[in-house]
Amino acid sequence: MERARLAEVARVLPLFPLARTVLMPGSLLPLHVFEPRYRALVQHCLEGDRVMGIATLDARRPPDANTPALHREIGLGEIVSHQPFPDGRCNIVLQHVGTGIFGREMASPHPFRLAECGLMDEPSAGTADALRDLRFLVLQLSTRIPEASPEGRRLVELPGMELPDSLARRLLTDPEDQRRYLGATPVERVAMVSDQLAAFLVVAPPVGSA
């Protein structure tokens, strides 16, 4: 979906809040949908642009009028697979297509929540240099750990932000770290995974060690 169209969709974004789930860049998220309000949300999306927002609940803040508080970073997911069941339940798969920043909750005529969101800016300054350094780190680690070498060679061939996004899905297992990654700029995302790899490199055995 083109960025301009995605920005329009995000202005009135249907939300699917989840407790500890983050729709990270480059990822796919399978969901089993059974609650009536979210079945209605899926149908609403299928009849429109097929995009919903995966919002992470913010347990640190009190709910507003019995509505659970949300973190500001929202993964925008497009329904790329839909498997309906006779009783109204369904399985869906969402593909990350962008990152929204929560603006305000909107009055909703539907059983699900709506929010006005903006899109994360994606400045490119410095990204090329950061990606070059990240590729070098991956190759260094592959040299230190022979069993990781085939995967390392495959990873460094990934274009652009596919490399850090792929690494982040492997390295960032805590929802808080995943959420920070979701809301970060490209350069910041590269830095997050580079820091993780650098930490591994410190403890990896030197080349040629017994």
Query: Per-residue pLDDT for 151 more than 90?
Result: no
Average pLDDT of the chain is: 91
Q: What percent of the chain has pLDDT over 70?
A: 93
Domain containing residue 32: CATH number? 2.30.130.40
Helix (H) or strand (E) holding 143, with range, is: helix 127-144
Quickly state the pLDDT bin for 201 (edges 50, 70, 90). confident
- DSSP secondary structure letter of residue 26: T
Q: Which residue has the higher pLDDT, 114 or 204?
A: 114
Q: Give the residue ranges of DSSP H helices in 14-126.
A: 36-46
Asked if the structure places residue 49 within a domain, the reply is: yes
pLDDT in tens, 169-196: 999 999 999 999 999 999 999 999 999 9
**Which is nearest to 138 in space by CA: 172, 164, 169?**
164
pLDDT beyond 50 at 210: no
Tell me the pairing of strands 114-119 and 13-18.
Answer: antiparallel
d(CA 204, CA 190): 21
Please give the residue range of the domain that contains residue 178. Answer: 127-203
The reported pLDDT for the residue numbered 66 is 66
- Domain assignment present for residue 209? The answer is no
Alpha-carbon gap, residue 54 to 29, rounded angstroms? 10
- Residue 144 located in a structural domain: yes
Residue type, 186: P
Interval 41-60 mean pLDDT: 96
Residues 12 and 97 in one domain: yes
